[in-house]
């Protein structure tokens, strides 16, 4: 199993290109199931999760070609051979549930394995199922699978989400494009990935209004056609690399970055003493004079502070002046990185959904273990500013969400290398 060796090496300088969004691409790929015409995605990230979704689509009979080094995905679902998503693939990635809505909408039936548990909380799929039921789906849970039927096709309905769910909004949005009549999604997710999906579906002929707000209206159409669509910039990768010069000092430009994708995050950076400047090609980030100031953070659905940047921001707060409180309001059990940061000398006290971080002058390098995707990169960020060497173990999580992390950080002056497992 590979590890990442990081050695504290002072300020960073240069540019980091930001990839297309993993979470957007994993949602856009199942949209190919809605049409028998080709769907091509550009600016696709090159990640293990994308390869898993490729395998899942291929198991259904879809054709998926990775072109231009994997940055272009050419897909076609003109001759699907199955509407069953098997456990062996689905268990590897929760986003696999997103094939349920498109299969049911186009073919009137689908069998999709339940995804199972997750290291950062249960994340059940009940909201996905309730949304499809509101569109007339007949659902049965049997032998670990969702057996879904809509013999006469899905029909428009009103979906009232009890709380915001990105995945359920995405599944319902795709399914509703081919439903008969009008579907309204109330308390829908507002994330940029939702807007990106809606943009792609509109290019395919869907009639969608209100994406980016909490009420989305979809007028079903008889069929969708092919399209070409660029995947939106990954706002989580963007925020992660914005934190690198914040922690280490120096100045880094994140190419392709946009303020509108990370507005609430930028407000916290400013409060902490980090400068963020828009440029013609991205966002330039630099630490202002003096030590970072402690800032309180509470995670919220978009446009609030992203839960997927909480671990990385905690790494920044570990050496801030003062005490900060980080509140995790999206997922339970998402402070597993805290004990690993404490191995590096951080002072962190976790109580339920709150973590109190008292800044120290300097972290010390240590062997640490990644517990999930965002935790793994938070430990790398901490290692960049720590004294001595930090060995981050079990980084297979990292490859699910960050492409070429050693190369990107190494190009701006970080001392970082991958150590191949035995």
Q: Are strands 145-149 and 109-113 parallel, antiparallel or unpaired?
A: antiparallel
- Does the active-site annotation cover 25? no
Give me the phi and psi of 99, to 5 degrees please.
-80, -15
Among 25, 118, 248, 318, the active-site one is 118
Contact 82, 91 (CB under 8 A): no
Q: H or E element: which one contains 367?
A: strand 367-369
The DSSP-derived string for 42-97 is ES----HHHHHHHHHHHHTT-EEEEEGGGTEEEEE-TT----EE-HHHHTT-GGGG
The continuous run of DSSP H or E covering 133 comes out as helix 126-134
Torsion of CA 307, 313, 314, 320, to 10 degrees: -150
CB 289 within 8 A of CB 254: no
What is the spatial distance between Cα 332 and Cα 182, in angstroms, rounded to a whole number? 35
Q: Which candidate, 263, 385, 366, 369, places its Cα nearest to that of 317?
A: 385
Q: How far apart, in whole angstroms, are the C-alpha atoms of residue 311 and residue 336?
A: 9
Residues contributing to the annotated binding site for phosphoenolpyruvate: 22-23
Look up residue 361 and give its two tokens: 């002058």
Binding residues for UDP-N-acetyl-alpha-D-glucosamine: 94, 123-127, 308, 330
Going by C-alpha positions, the residue among 260, 351, 272, 265 that lies closest to residue 308 is 265
Please report, to the nearest 10 degrees, the dihedral formed by the alpha carbons of residues 91, 95, 100, 101 taken in order: 170
Indicate if the alpha-carbon torsion angle 407, 413, 414, 418 is positive or negative: positive
Residues recognised as catalytic = 118
């Amino acid at each position: 199993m590979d590890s990442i060796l990081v050695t504290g090496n002072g300020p960073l300088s240069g540019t980091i290109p930001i990839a297309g969004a993993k979470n957007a691409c994993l949602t856009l790929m199942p949209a190919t199931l809605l049409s028998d015409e080709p769907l091509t995605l550009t600016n696709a990230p090159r990640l293990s999760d994308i390869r898993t979704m490729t395998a899942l689509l291929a198991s259904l009979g879809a054709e998926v070609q990775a072109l231009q080094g994997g940055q272009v995905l050419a897909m076609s679902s003109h001759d699907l051979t199955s509407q069953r998503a098997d456990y062996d693939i689905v268990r590897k990635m929760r986003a696999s549930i997103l094939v349920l809505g498109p299969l049911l909408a186009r073919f009137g039936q689908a069998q999709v394995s339940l995804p199972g548990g997750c290291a950062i909380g249960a994340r059940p799929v009940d909201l996905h199922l309730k949304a499809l039921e509101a569109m007339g789906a007949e659902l049965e849970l049997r032998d670990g699978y969702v057996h879904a039927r809509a013999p006469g096709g899905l029909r428009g309905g009103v979906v009232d989400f009890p709380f915001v769910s990105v995945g359920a909004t995405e599944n319902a949005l795709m399914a509703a494009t081919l439903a008969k009549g009008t579907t309204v999604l109330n308390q829908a997710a507002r994330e940029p990935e939702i807007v990106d999906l809606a943009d792609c579906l509109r290019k395919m002929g869907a009639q969608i209004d209100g994406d980016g707000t909490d009420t989305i209206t979809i007028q079903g159409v008889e069929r969708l056609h092919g399209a070409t669509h660029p995947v939106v910039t990954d706002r989580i990768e963007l925020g992660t690399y914005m934190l690198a010069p914040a922690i280490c000092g120096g100045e880094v430009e994140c190419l392709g970055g946009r303020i509108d994708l990370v507005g609430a995050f930028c407000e916290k950076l400013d409060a902490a003493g980090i400068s963020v400047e828009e440029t013609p090609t991205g966002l330039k980030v630099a630490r202002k004079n003096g030590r970072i100031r402690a800032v309180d953070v509470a995670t919220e659905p978009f446009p609030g502070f992203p839960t997927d940047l909480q671990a990385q921001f905690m790494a920044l707060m570990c050496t801030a002046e003062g005490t900060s409180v980080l509140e995790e309001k999206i997922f339970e059990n998402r402070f597993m990185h805290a004990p690993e940061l404490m191995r590096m000398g951080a002072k962190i006290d976790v109580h339920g959904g709150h973590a109190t971080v008292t800044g120290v002058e300097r972290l010390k390098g240590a062997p640490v273990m990644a517990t999930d995707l965002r935790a793994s990169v938070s430990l790398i960020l901490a290692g960049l500013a720590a004294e001595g060497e930090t060995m981050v173990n079990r980084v297979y999580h990292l490859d699910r969400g960050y492409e070429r992390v050693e190369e990107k950080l190494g190009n701006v002056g970080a001392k970082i290398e991958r150590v191949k497992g035995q």
